[in-house]
Amino acid sequence: MKKMVMLLVALGLAIGAGQGIAETAQKKKPDAVKKHKHVKKHVRRTALQETEGLALKSATALVMDQSTGAILFEKNPGAVLPIASITKLMTAMVALDAQPDMEEMLSISDEDVDTLRGTRSRLRVGTPLAREDMMHLALMSSENRAASALSRHYPGGREAFVAAMNFKAQELGLIQTHFDDPTGLTARNVSSARDLVKLVAAAHQYPLIRRFTTSTEYQVAVHGRAQLFRNTNSLVKSASWDIGLSKTGFINEAGKCLVMQAWLNKKPTIIVLLDSMGKSTRIGDANRIKRWVEHASAAQRLAAG
């Protein structure tokens, strides 16, 4: 009998303990649920903040109000990266600084053929074109052979040309920039977004560079046959954009690159996008920037009104 009583007491204690554990669990459950909901709210809030801000897919970006120098947006602006054919803006400036005869006929030679990456060109060896046409194709269609020909026909040749590119970079205060060739085919041509906004601003001062980089297409005679070349930036023919300067670039090490001077909300704006890996990422990022600037301006007017 005594053993039976002791067993019942122990059983009661166990039941009570079990009830206590269950009650404790019930009390803690709401806290755990609250915590879980808090995390979900935090995730949603973070996503909302990113949506309200500007989330770009390019690894490096910078947006600057050209009239004031104010930085509107930046993402890894100091990263030093290969810039591919953005190089050709400097190529054009150096060529023009020499004040050459733009009607002088230049010829594509074996030295202009890309042996580094094997890129193709419709400008066959022996093709004669005026210097102006060479520059037009180098800037608008990113013609590597044309850019190379411009450097060969510089006083002192290509070596002097590349030295002049680096000297001009120093003059412009491009402290994170270096050039090794006039085309951008080498990954040793590097710069940063901070430097490239200065480069774009400087290039924008040249009327020919503005005109050639924003023309949608251009036709030249190559060995007696008309050849139509098109701009590598599809945005130049978009009615929703007012672009004053444009240059694209691509090599594997650089990804897709794009620099532009454009008018956004009636203000001159410089956009730099580097290392965009997707096929259309740089164009998508440019359009995202445009919508973001326009939305911010509209919100400011609404707040002020």
Going by pLDDT thresholds of 50, 70 and 90, the confidence category of residue 5 is very low
Q: What percent of the chain has pLDDT over 70?
A: 80
Which H helix or E strand runs over 161?
helix 157-171
Mean pLDDT of the chain: 85
- Whether the Cβ atoms of residue 132 and residue 72 lie closer than 8 Å to each other: no
pLDDT tens, residue by residue, 26-39: 333 333 333 333 33
Distance CA 301, CA 304 (A): 5
Q: In 3D, which of 240, 145, 226, 235 has the Cα closest to residue 183?
A: 145
What percent helix, strand, coil does the chain show, rounded to 5?
Answer: 50, 20, 30
Going by pLDDT thresholds of 50, 70 and 90, the confidence category of residue 279 is confident
pLDDT tens, residue by residue, 82-114: 999 999 999 999 999 999 999 999 999 999 999
pLDDT of res. 52: 52
Distance CA 34, CA 31 (A): 5
Which H helix or E strand runs over 203?
helix 193-203
pLDDT of res. 180: 98
CATH fold for the domain made of 57-304: Beta-lactamase (3.40.710)
Q: Provide the residue ranges of all domains of the chain, joining segments of one domain with +.
A: 57-304
pLDDT of res. 304: 62
Q: Kindly state the tokens that stand for 294.
A: 């326009």
SS3 98: coil
Catalytic residue numbers read 85, 88, 142
Distance CA 204, CA 206 (A): 5
Question: How many beta carbons lie within 10 A of that of residue 161, not counting itself?
Answer: 23
Residue with tokens 């808090």: 38
Q: Average pLDDT of 166-195? A: 98
For 125, list phi and psi in degrees, rounded to 5.
Answer: -60, 130
pTM beyond 0.85: no
Question: How many beta carbons lie within 10 A of that of residue 53, not counting itself?
Answer: 11
Q: In 3D, which of 278, 285, 89, 272 has the Cα closest to residue 192?
A: 272
Distance CA 271, CA 62 (A): 6
Question: How many beta carbons lie within 10 A of that of residue 238, not counting itself?
Answer: 14
Q: Average pLDDT of 33-49? A: 34
Going by pLDDT thresholds of 50, 70 and 90, the confidence category of residue 259 is very high
